[in-house]
Chain A
């Protein structure tokens, strides 16, 4: 496998999007997107449908022309360069395998366009098939393959000509969960082996968190936040990112001030502390957020320094195997979610019980 990888390896392309815009009849599908995609990076464009992620990808591929802005691949402007001259690989959700060609002919298609002689073509096709773990299937018709196998063929076809950039538009969207997880790992492996820059579009936040070096979260045609999966999960920049990636609890609170480098705010009658980010004026209405698995039941234990405490009522307890999920209600009717690991030593709470919960100020973010 190492030998194959070195043959196919090549440095990835660096892609720069600068103020990229796309308007469809007055409606802005993409509104000023600027991202620096580094050479060899696995970057995911994540967002709900209509957020402009696919349009952005299509502009990189050359299927859509930007209304404004600049697009550079390895420092060269791609504006006006047709797709077939951009030398990038592309994988579609619908696989887009040519139904009138065999698997081998499909994979050989980009090589044929580049004038690679037939014998050399067949050798490289066989290598690519081995790389996606489908050796010996070259003679089949794409329709004889399962969905997962078809997408592997599409992947082989997109990398066989050693592009420096691979674009993928929800490639796993049509597959079932288990197959999706297997292929996610495989794409990560391919990315590591090939050193190609991957730009990946998905609406599945779990997929984005598992696979990406960095994620650009998109909302309404703009980048809401860009960062590593840890960045986005632990320090979401705004309410949209906090609720789109993972699950979040929100506390509407009133800003009181800064103490020992922490934001102090009042949530109803309860004093809460949070990591200091931006600093709103005292008295301003703010929103604090924390993740469900960072909350825990404390049951009268003395609070650690800098720990937030809150009295709640258990509304519902849902057992979900590895963990138990509690729906809680705080004073003022705010709904919270708490996730607790399940185990013999852990007491299960019943609906209607009152309890005290606690969590660290470091796990509380001002959004």
Chain B
């Protein structure tokens, strides 16, 4: 409705249009027309299938909420949900602690910066499947890590790392690290260099400058990275399935198992829970950091 009235207003001012005769005269409609193809694509191939899948949770056999009610006292579901959230928190913390110093180094280093960026992006460009298999090779009973420690005399017998939660955590932190580093590096790069000089000139030690100037100014990047990593880890499937333990099931693994058993309603229920969790997290971040105006605009620049 408002679009139509806006375009009418544009048509009612011929002098303005006459000064730019060669341009397409779409006026205020142009952005919407440009957005139309991708929006249509997403509706047809993403939103509709997702809705169709989710509807199985409440339409099996007829309109019912019985599947969701069952989740409330399903100990398997509760343990899996807890596992998933715990893993996501741990992976997020791990990438933050490891990623922040790398982001700082990436921004501070001058000549080495392209090399560091390449080292970050090279694994990023490699398929998650390949990297998960690589971690299986590294962490296995006769993998590189165990063999090296045995050779150095640090161990008497090989450690069991593969197919434990630790293996999942290590591999996921490695795979998701770029999602943390890049947004943080982006906000760090935007910090005006004269602010650091001003802080030093006003008597702040390098550590105080970091704590009182650099860290607060990089928080939008930290928020963006945290959100990305957390939401991505919630739905991670390949890595926990390949390197994780059989008892440490995550939500996405449970969904996959239920689909294999043609338990569609239960799987759809779990998917709805996963989607809702991700949306709640995004909503909370949007509330705290101002998603539109803060973190993402800063990191997208």
Q: Which A residues lie within 8 Å of B201 (CB)?
A: 61, 63, 83-84, 88-90, 158, 167
Q: How far, in whole Å, are A96 and B202 apart by their CA atoms in the complex?
A: 11
Q: How far, in whole Å, are A113 and B205 apart by their CA atoms in the complex?
A: 8
Query: Cβ of A94 and Cβ of B194 under 8 Å apart?
Result: yes
Asked, given contacts A90-B197, A96-B192, A98-B195, whether A110 binds B217 with beta carbons under 8 Å apart, the answer is no
Asked, given contacts A84-B200, A94-B194, whether A100 binds B205 with beta carbons under 8 Å apart, the answer is no
Q: How far, in whole Å, are A161 and B205 apart by their CA atoms in the complex?
A: 16
Q: How far, in whole Å, are A84 and B200 apart by their CA atoms in the complex?
A: 5
Asked, given contacts A84-B205, A113-B208, whether A100 binds B217 with beta carbons under 8 Å apart, the answer is yes
For chain A, the count of residues having a C-beta within 8 Å of the partner chain is: 26
Q: Cβ of A228 < 8 Å from any Cβ of B?
A: no
Asked, given contacts A96-B194, A98-B213, whether A82 binds B200 with beta carbons under 8 Å apart, the answer is yes
Of listed A63, A87, A109, A167, residue having the most chain B CB within 10 A = A109
Q: Cβ of B204 < 8 Å from any Cβ of A?
A: yes
Q: Cβ of A300 < 8 Å from any Cβ of B?
A: no
Query: Cβ of B203 and Cβ of A114 under 8 Å apart?
Result: yes
Q: Which A residues lie within 8 Å of B192 (CB)?
A: 94, 96
Q: Which A residues lie within 8 Å of B204 (CB)?
A: 84, 109, 113
Query: Cβ of B200 and Cβ of A96 under 8 Å apart?
Result: no
Which A residue sits closest to B197, measured CB to CB?
A: A63
Query: Cβ of A90 and Cβ of B217 under 8 Å apart?
Result: no
Q: Which A residues lie within 8 Å of B197 (CB)?
A: 61, 63, 83, 90, 92, 96
Q: Cβ of A157 < 8 Å from any Cβ of B?
A: yes
Q: How far, in whole Å, are A82 and B217 apart by their CA atoms in the complex?
A: 23
A110 smallest CB distance to B (angstroms): 4
Q: Which B residues lie within 8 Å of A321 (CB)?
A: none
Q: Which A residues lie within 8 Å of B205 (CB)?
A: 84, 113
A87, A96, A113: the one within 8 Å of B195 (CB): A96
Asked, given contacts A98-B213, A100-B217, A113-B208, whether A84 binds B203 with beta carbons under 8 Å apart, the answer is yes
Of listed A61, A89, A113, residue having the most chain B CB within 10 A = A113
B297 smallest CB distance to A (angstroms): 15
B195, B202, B206: the one within 8 Å of A110 (CB): B202
Q: How far, in whole Å, are A61 and B201 apart by their CA atoms in the complex?
A: 7
A82, A100, A109: the one within 8 Å of B202 (CB): A109
- In B181-213, which residues have CB < 8 Å from any A CB? 192, 194-195, 197-206, 208, 212-213
B270 smallest CB distance to A (angstroms): 41
A83, A99, A100, A114: the one within 8 Å of B200 (CB): A83
**B203-229 interface bits toward A, Cβ cutoff 8 Å, 1 = contact, 0 = none:** 111101000110011000000000000
Q: Which A residues lie within 8 Å of B199 (CB)?
A: 98, 109
Q: How far, in whole Å, are A221 and B133 apart by their CA atoms in the complex?
A: 60
Which A residue sits closest to B216, measured CB to CB?
A: A100
Which B residue sits closest to A87, measured CB to CB?
A: B203
Q: How far, in whole Å, are A98 and B200 apart by their CA atoms in the complex?
A: 13
- In A74-108, which residues have CB < 8 Å from any B CB? 82-84, 87-90, 92, 94, 96-100
Which A residue sits closest to B209, measured CB to CB?
A: A84
Q: How far, in whole Å, are A278 and B215 apart by their CA atoms in the complex?
A: 60
Q: How far, in whole Å, are A161 and B202 apart by their CA atoms in the complex?
A: 9
Of listed A96, A114, A161, residue having the most chain B CB within 10 A = A96
Query: Cβ of B217 and Cβ of A157 under 8 Å apart?
Result: no
A106 smallest CB distance to B (angstroms): 9
B272 smallest CB distance to A (angstroms): 39
Which B residue sits closest to A113, measured CB to CB?
A: B203
Q: Which B residues lie within 8 Å of A90 (CB)?
A: 197-198, 201-202
B263 smallest CB distance to A (angstroms): 51
Q: Which A residues lie within 8 Å of B217 (CB)?
A: 99-100
**A146-184 interface bits toward B, Cβ cutoff 8 Å, 1 = contact, 0 = none:** 000000000001100100000100000000000000000
Q: How far, in whole Å, are A76 and B197 apart by their CA atoms in the complex?
A: 22
Query: Cβ of A110 and Cβ of B194 under 8 Å apart?
Result: no
Q: How far, in whole Å, are A98 and B213 apart by their CA atoms in the complex?
A: 7
Q: Which B residues lie within 8 Å of A63 (CB)?
A: 197, 200-201
Q: Which A residues lie within 8 Å of B203 (CB)?
A: 84, 87, 110, 113-114, 161
B162 smallest CB distance to A (angstroms): 45
Which B residue sits closest to A157, measured CB to CB?
A: B202
Q: Which A residues lie within 8 Å of B194 (CB)?
A: 92, 94, 96
Which A residue sits closest to B194, measured CB to CB?
A: A96
B197 smallest CB distance to A (angstroms): 6
Q: How far, in whole Å, are A167 and B201 apart by their CA atoms in the complex?
A: 10
Q: How far, in whole Å, are A314 and B244 apart by their CA atoms in the complex?
A: 93
A273 smallest CB distance to B (angstroms): 51
B204 smallest CB distance to A (angstroms): 5
**B83-115 interface bits toward A, Cβ cutoff 8 Å, 1 = contact, 0 = none:** 000000000000000000000000000000000
Q: How far, in whole Å, are A212 and B131 apart by their CA atoms in the complex?
A: 66
Q: Which A residues lie within 8 Å of B213 (CB)?
A: 98, 100
Known: A90-B197, A92-B194. 16 other contacts (CB 8 A): A63-B201, A82-B200, A83-B197, A83-B200, A84-B203, A84-B204, A84-B206, A89-B202, A94-B192, A94-B194, A96-B197, A96-B198, A98-B199, A100-B213, A109-B199, A113-B205
Give the interface of B toward A (CB within 8 A). Answer: 192, 194-195, 197-206, 208, 212-213, 216-217
Can you report 10 residue pairs joining A to B where beta carbons are below 8 Å apart? Answer: A83-B197, A84-B206, A89-B202, A90-B198, A92-B198, A100-B216, A100-B217, A109-B199, A113-B204, A157-B202
7 smallest CB-CB distances across A and B, nearest first, come from: A90-B201, A96-B198, A110-B202, A113-B203, A96-B194, A83-B200, A100-B216
